Amino acid sequence: MVFVIIQKCSQFHSSSFSAEKIDETPLEDMSDNMKAVYAPGGVKKKEGEKITRPKLANLLERISETSRAEGVALFYSGDIGKEIVKAVRKIHKIDKFVN
């Protein structure tokens, strides 16, 4: 099952719903990662066009190759967790998290 999900993340086609949401989102509101996936070169993907998410596929593959404890550690104290925090801070313009 995990292998199928990883394959789908590697390459899939834009649905009518996702194409509509991509079209509604101004380029200036998209993160750099979102632009790279859904509007490469500033051209938004249309329905039926191929979309690739190699970073997500690599992340899922990396997690699938670990034990449950190692996977949890990747999220909470490893590189993956740090990258998630970094991305959230950038997207939401947060300098630091407050309790």
pLDDT digits (tens, 9 = 90+) for 7-61: 666 778 888 998 999 999 999 888 888 899 899 999 999 999 998 888 888 878 8
pLDDT of residue 99 exceeding 50 = no
What are the distances in angstroms from CA 92 to CA 5, 36, 86, 97? 28, 18, 10, 11
Q: Inform me whether the pLDDT recorded for 69 exceeds 70.
A: yes
Q: How far is residue 43 CA from its own chain's centroid? A: 18
In this predicted structure, the answer to whether residue 2 has a pLDDT above a threshold of 60 is no
Q: What backbone torsions phi and psi does residue 44 show, to the nearest 5 degrees?
A: -70, 140
- What confidence score (pLDDT) does residue 78 get? 78
Closest CA to 54 of 45, 62, 46: 62
pLDDT at 72: 78
Residue 50 — φ and ψ, nearest 5°? -75, 135
For 78-90, b/e burial (b = at least 16 CB within 10 A) is: eebeeeeeeeeee
